Amino acid sequence: MTSTVIRYLYLLLLICLLSGISAFASEFKKPKAGTVDSITFKSPFYEDNERCFKCHGQKTYEYLNENLDRNVKALMFSERVIDRNKFYQSNHKSFSCTDCHSADYVKFPHPGELRMEQTYNCIDCHGGDEKFAQYNFEEIESEYQKSTHFQLEKEGFSCWECHGPHTYKLNIRNSSDIKEAIIYDNNICLKCHSNYDQFQLLSDKDEINILQKHDWLPNQETHFRSVRCIECHSEINDSILVSHLILPVEKAVRKCNECHSQNSILMSTLYKFQSKEQRKDGFLNGIILNQSYVIGANRNEYLNIISLLIFGVVVLIIGIHIYFRLTRK
Amino acid sequence: MYLYPVWVRLWHLFNAILILVLIVTGISMQYTDKQDAILMVGFARAVKWHNIAAVLLTVNYIFFVTGNLFTDNGKFYKIRKENFISDLWKQMKYYSLGMFKGEKHPFPVTPDRKFNPLQKLTYVLAMYIAFPLLIISGLGLLFPETVISRFLGISGMILTDILHITMGFFLSVFMIIHIYTCTLGARPTSLFKSMLSGYHVSEDH
């Protein structure tokens, strides 16, 4: 009787297991969206900047057409819309708009020749400045010029293609949550590499399907959430925190061991700046364990020693047993 | 004496092959390095074959549990409380001393007693505790999004992996001891032959 009940319960469990597997297969969890910081910064140029944001801070703007003598409402060209919140969280949040743009923009309609305005690059302000020496902008500039981005499109490419001047903020250096920093950084690449309209501005190549290109990667979703694109697609440089030498696709890392090993490259890339959060507990590359887990890179030294000891004792006992079997026949 | 039905032998054969694949590929993943050492199969290949072998092993394990529940074979795995410790002790004494003095096997194999007490205990621990834990933790690693992100302040993935490699290690040690004790039959090869033919040679120790 009891065994019959156990058999039925087992069959029931098996059915539940199979239906669970099929339900699971059809619905994978979606990655969590990143959270947005609260803005506490008060800009000394808030009032001045508001004159620009009045039109450029949203998708529509309104102006008085003096010829028609009436207010006209129009759509703002999307490239010219600046997100106020993102700007006041960005690295350049303390700037006045006219620090970088011509003061002539205060006139409306804006003078036509301003369209040809020369824009600054990072090195124009940050180069040769002691205050920014720790970031080594000169090396960043030189690496960037060797990168496939610059080599393929010397005219069209600039720092701003990846680091929007109105939105960019220091990320990996300041982040306490690596997962969010990864989403932020990968979105920089995806801005063009998952949006063909944007991509076409800089390249005549056919559309690249990122998911298909990475078909070979096991647990693709987990990889995309756990590492940045640049871990595999750039060359490591010890003198700067984030590598700017983006490699041609044929030079990208494809060997799993590069990350999944004792000498994981992740320690020189993604986890380079995390030494303040050192956590070892006997794990190799223990810092990774704060946020992630990498098979092959996170072995535990204590477990290694214990397992070798147990293995050694077993082999020894078997050896002694064989010896007695041979000698005490 | 016919002791090992075809389904048990088939299950055992597949189990042995798959476990060997899993050990080699598992070690290759755990101790991977930039240059692959001897016997290491390379991380990418190891992941692929470990996953394939693991899914097959899971199916094979379900086959084993189902077989034990619906056939007579399950009775060999039932541990009875009476004299459990003393029987275990007797068997250990025989393996460590008695067999060298030419003593008779305290629990000779019969159609009703396929396993000696020590064998029974290790098989139950391996098949009904280590195996399910190994499979469940392995499924967690195969589908990392199902693993809880943190448990008592520690990453769920680390705990899952430690459980997986610990069970994998114990089962590997079990396999080594299992293979060695299988040389303790009438002749060193007779128990291996039994597992292929199904017939047990009764003059064993």
Arithmetic mean of pLDDT, B145-154 = 74
Beta strands in chain A (DSSP E): 60-65, 70-75
Q: Read off the pLDDT of each residue in B12-35 and give the average, rounded to a whole number.
A: 90
Residue type, A62: E
| Beta-carbon contacts of residue B153 (< 8 Å; ≥ 6 apart) | none
Q: Do the Cβ atoms of A170 and A163 come closer than 8 Å?
A: no
The pLDDT, as a whole number, for residue A279 is: 47
Q: Return the residue matching tokens 């006992």.
A: A317
Under 8 Å between Cβ of A97 and A84: no
Token pair recorded at residue B26: 């598992």
Better-scored residue on pLDDT, B150 or B5: B5
Confidence label for B129 from pLDDT (cuts 50, 70 and 90): very high
- Predicted confidence at residue A23, as pLDDT, reads 61
* pLDDT for the residue numbered A282: 64
The whole-angstrom separation of Cα B169 and Cα B186 is 30
B44 chain-A contacts, CB cut-off 8 A: 218, 255-256
pLDDT band at B29 (very low <50, low <70, confident <90, very high): confident
**Which residue from A246, A114, A96 is spatially nearest to A166, judged by alpha carbons?**
A96
- Cβ-based contacts of A307 with chain B (< 8 Å): 169
Query: Hey, what CATH topology would domain B6-197 get?
Result: Fumarate Reductase Cytochrome B subunit (1.20.950)
Q: Which helix (H) or strand (E) holds A306?
A: helix A301-327
Nearest to A296 among B32, B145, B173 (CB): B32
The radius of gyration computed from the CA coordinates of chain B, to the nearest angstrom, equals 19
Region B70-76 average pLDDT? 90
How many CB atoms sit inside 10 A of residue B130's CB? 19
Which chain B positions have a beta carbon within 8 Å of A13's beta carbon? none
With a cut of 90, say whether residue B150 has pLDDT above it.
no
First to last CA, chain A: 49
**What are the chain A neighbours of B161 within 8 Å (beta carbons)?**
293, 295, 298
Which residues, 6+ apart, have CB-to-CB distance to A124 below 8 Å?
Answer: none
* Minimum Cα–Cα distance from B67: chain A residue: A7
Q: Which residue has the tokens 């597949």?
A: B14
Q: Which residue of A has its CA nearest to B45?
A: A256
Q: Can you give the pLDDT of all 329 residues of chain A as single tens digits?
A: 567 777 777 777 777 677 766 665 555 444 444 444 456 788 889 988 999 999 999 899 998 888 888 999 999 988 889 999 889 989 899 999 998 888 888 888 888 888 888 878 888 888 888 888 888 888 999 999 999 999 988 888 888 888 888 988 877 666 677 788 889 889 999 999 999 998 998 888 898 899 999 998 888 888 898 889 998 999 888 778 888 999 999 999 888 888 887 777 777 677 766 544 444 556 767 666 655 677 777 778 888 899 999 999 999 999 999 999 888 76
Cis ω before A109 (30° cut-off from 0):
yes
**Min Cα separation A14/chain B (Å):** 9
| Chain B closest-CA separation from residue A263 CA (Å) | 7
DSSP state of B127: I
- What is the value of pTM for the model shown? 0.70
| Beta bridge partner(s), residue B110 | B113
- d(CA A15, CA A21) in angstroms, rounded, equals 10
Question: Are the beta carbons of A256 and B43 separated by less than 8 Å?
Answer: yes
Nearest to A269 by CA among A251, A242, A288: A242
Map out the domains of chain B as residue ranges: 6-197
The C-alpha atoms of residue B29 and residue B8 are separated, in whole angstroms, by 31
| Size (chain B), residues | 205
Contacts 24+ apart (CB under 8 A), B9-14: B9/B195, B9/B196, B9/B198, B11/B60, B11/B63, B11/B64, B11/B67, B12/B195, B14/B56, B14/B60
- Measured between alpha carbons, how far is A308 from A315 in angstroms, rounded to an integer? 10
Residues B123 and B181: beta-carbon distance below 8 Å: no
What residues of B are in contact with residue A20 (Cβ under 8 Å)? none
Angle between helices B131-142 and B43-70 (to 10 degrees): 140
d(CA B39, CA B21): 11
Tell me the average pLDDT across B30-57: 83
pLDDT of residue A32: 41
Q: How far is A38 from chain B (nearest CA, A)?
A: 25
Q: Which of A6, A296, A324 sits opposite B100 (nearest CB)?
A: A324
- d(CA B11, CA A107) in angstroms, rounded, equals 84
Is 70 exceeded by the pLDDT of residue B70?
yes
